[in-house]
Structure 1
Amino acid sequence: MPLHAKSADGERLAVHTMTTKPLSLAEAAEAYASRGIGGISVWVETLAGLTNSAAKQIIDDAGLKVPALVRGGFFCAANEHDRQERVDHNRRLIETAAALEAEMLVLVVGALPGQPLDVQRGWVRDGIEGLLAEAQSSGVKLAIEPLHPMYAADKSCINRITEARQICEAIDDAQVGVAVDVYHVWWDPELSDEIRRLGETNRIFGFHLCDWRVPTRDLLTDRALMGDGCIDIAGIRGEVEAAGFEGWNEVEIFSEEHWASDQGEYLDKIVERYRTATSAAGH
């Protein structure tokens, strides 16, 4: 496929740079574009050694759009001074997101072992409220990403869409919404209702794709390629789209197995599985 050719639905397919962790930003941008992938969600680690302007030039040269800068957040800390430092760090990330013309900054909110989760969710709300002025002035949206309950102790005190939605409603600002990652929320018996409720207020900002391997060999770095696990990805995508979501379908896979493979062949599989394993007939 020639460089910059668009695959079917390629304008809505994006890949996170962490999915192809061995590739530099320049390598990833060229590889994505050559396969008709329209978007690149940039992890901050991929920007190491690059100025914002240099990174933006790489992305522009490949003809790609940036759905998201990943990841900000991590608001939870034991004292107010440390929490304020984390808010300040997120302000700088919003500046980076704006420089890359990213639609949103994805927030993995953090967690502090031994602290009540409801208290920590208050810290998260406070932290996001501290970023509203920058989000509004820059146009960068803030997308809260619930993480699977296995991460509740030390990575995220928000583990269901319910908690993310409640914070969005409490803040009540159009710049604050939710990133729905199938890996983290597929198990939730209230998932369909929560997706519908998010759609009623236009709060679905992002939609992340991968699969849950059975059996899972590692709870962080053994995510599966779409179709190689047990998640009803097509069903969830259908619900998200029925709720009004028209944004990017972002492939986000942490996998030691896939990182060790040929990244070109891996991307070819991602494009093929996006077509065959993530959408119901008629999409």
Structure 2
Amino acid sequence: MQSDAMESPARDRLAVHTITTKPWGLAEAADRYAASGVSGMSVWVEAIEGMTNADVRSTLQNAGLQVPALVRGGFFCDRSDEERERRIDHNRRLIETAAEISAEMLVLVVGATPGEPLDRQRGWVRDGIEALITDANSHNVRLAIEPLHPMYAADKSCVNRMWDAREICESINDRMLGIAVDVYHTWWDPELESEIRLAGTQNTLFAFHICDWRVPTRDFLNDRGLMGDGCIDIRGIRRMVESAGFDGWNEVEIFSDEHWARDQQQFLNDIIERYADC
């Protein structure tokens, strides 16, 4: 892709997920992001295991980073009533963590149980999120449902289209509940533009995640591409979300065995360059 200064989004809206540079611990990632001019860091729960919330917050504040999101909660689906309740309680604790580290939202990957009807599972998801709304409001932490690509419908997410997420949002109808749009999961959807427009109208367009879909894809989990290395019209989808009124973070989220094996500073440099181009 060719660089276009008038089209390139501002660097102060660039955030990177800690999973993107997984070999770095939180403190090193925070220092490196800040030194490279990245303004935001979305924090994965795996990156803060063993740390107190106070230490996490101090690390991020010392680096001058804002926190678009804590990633990831959810996983509401299970045949056992007791297990579903346990998972709701776990999400309550994640909401508290998000508030304590000044994260704007908790991203929800809703989960799936193989062999159960998807409609039944979406009901479990709706019930689980509804049980968390009071906590979200009291802690001022938004909840963002992230639809996942249909290839994950069996065991990772029963919510695969923005339409599915919108139905849950409309059913619960609370200002703290919205949708995270990840281009990797949604680029294929023929209704994407109209759903983004609706999310803008309903004020449920909470997050925008970017990477690329490699052709061919060698691994459906850990082979995401740098922006511009695949087939997704990232610039076109960015226009859609901005036309719908989104003015939040552009969050780079890349799972890649190939890129994790590289020098992570060079990888981060490449991310920043591609962000400007794409």
TM tier, shorter chain? over 0.9
Q: 1:10 offset after TM fit, Å?
A: 2.1
1:46 corresponds to which residue? 47
2:154 corresponds to which residue? 153
2:39 equivalent to 1:34: no
Q: Which amino acid aligns with 2:125?
A: V
Segments of 5+ residues of structure 2 without an aligned counterpart are: 1-7
1:99 corresponds to which residue? 100
How far, CA to CA, are the matches of 2:104 and 2:61 in structure 1? 15
- Deviation readout 1:22-62 (Å, 9 max, x if unpaired): 00000100110011100000000000121000011010000
| Partner SS for 1:106 | strand
Question: How do 1:105-124 and structure 2 match up within 5 A?
Answer: 105-124=106-125
Q: CA RMSD in A?
A: 0.9
2:244 corresponds to which residue? 243
TM norm structure 2 = 0.97
2:4 equivalent to 1:15: no
2:70 equivalent to 1:69: yes
| Partner SS for 2:59 | helix
Q: 1:8 offset after TM fit, Å?
A: 7.5
Q: 1:9 offset after TM fit, Å?
A: 1.7
How far, CA to CA, are the matches of 1:100 and 1:245 in structure 2? 23
Q: Which amino acid aligns with 1:212?
A: W
2:80 equivalent to 1:79: yes
Question: How do 1:125-164 and structure 2 match up within 5 A?
Answer: 125-164=126-165
Q: Which amino acid aligns with 1:210?
A: C
- Deviation readout 1:199-234 (Å, 9 max, x if unpaired): 001101000000000000000000000000000000
TM norm structure 1 = 0.95
- Deviation readout 1:168-227 (Å, 9 max, x if unpaired): 000000000000000000000000010001000110100000000000000000000000
| Partner SS for 2:276 | helix
- Deviation readout 1:154-180 (Å, 9 max, x if unpaired): 000000000000100000000000000
Segments of 5+ residues of structure 1 without an aligned counterpart are: 1-6, 278-283
If asked which structure has higher relative contact order (CA below 8 Å, sep 6+), I would say 2
1:177 corresponds to which residue? 178
1:281 corresponds to which residue? none
Q: Which amino acid aligns with 1:139?
A: N
2:203 equivalent to 1:190: no
2:5 corresponds to which residue? none
| Partner SS for 1:150 | helix
How far, CA to CA, are the matches of 2:221 and 2:174 in structure 1? 32
Question: What is the aligned-residue identity percentage?
Answer: 66
Q: Which amino acid aligns with 1:14?
A: A
How far, CA to CA, are the matches of 2:9 and 2:98 in structure 1? 28
Task: Name the CA shift for 1:80/1:243 in 2 (closer, same or farther; >3 Å).
Answer: same
2:261 corresponds to which residue? 260
| Partner SS for 1:19 | helix
